[in-house]
Amino acid sequence: MDHDAEFAEFMAARWSALYRTAYLLMGQHHQAEDLLQDVLARTCVQWPSIKDKGLAEAYVRRGLVNAASRQWRRRGRERLTEHVPELSHTGDIELSADKLVLWEEVQRLPPRMRATLILRYLEDRSEHDTAAVLGVSVGSVKSQTHHALKRLRAAMPEMENLR
């Protein structure tokens, strides 16, 4: 199978899961689509040099986190809240008033903490997998998770059972 066909097959199989990660990182559909397309375009160019195709999804997820972090730094803390996006691509995320408030607080976290929580709890990844995607140690994942949850608990005392 040639590289283009192999990449197209990978992209078709993993698009939904990767889009979900991009959406959770960016919070808006158009930004998630742009982010994922940019990262997949770079991945397509690098595809022949990715020796272990089994790690391709982790490679793309790390690219998503890195690209999202760059955008967050450029954009600062600008947030558009005029429009609540449809949930057609977000799976079973149920939005209640508490979850909306929690999501807003998660969006205020620094990029690395936000990415760690998204990978650990929304993507349901282990500490080891999260560390691999972020390119950090397992201890760093534990520390980032602890500090992020501590910030969320302080901002939202009514949700003290966050674990």
* Cα distances (angstroms) measured from residue 163 to each of 143, 146, 150: 13, 9, 9
Can you tell me whether residue 84 is helix, strand or coil?
A: coil
| Res 144: pLDDT | 93
CATH 3.90.1150.10 fits 94-163, yes or no: no
Q: Tell me, yes or no, if the pTM score tops 0.85.
A: no
Most confident by average pLDDT, 63-77, 85-99, 137-151: 137-151
The overall average pLDDT reported for the chain is 81
Would you tell me the crossing angle of helices 138-155 and 97-108 to the nearest 10 degrees?
120
Can you tell me whether residue 77 is helix, strand or coil?
A: coil
Q: Token pair of 77, please? A: 């803390």
What is the CA angle 136-141-146, rounded to 5? 150
To 10 degrees, the CA torsion angle through 127, 159, 102, 14?
Answer: 30
Q: Specify the amino acid at residue 71.
A: Q
- The fold for domain 1-92 equals Rna Polymerase Sigma Factor; Chain: A (1.10.1740)
Domain-wise residue ranges, the chain: 1-92, 94-163
| Res 94: pLDDT | 45
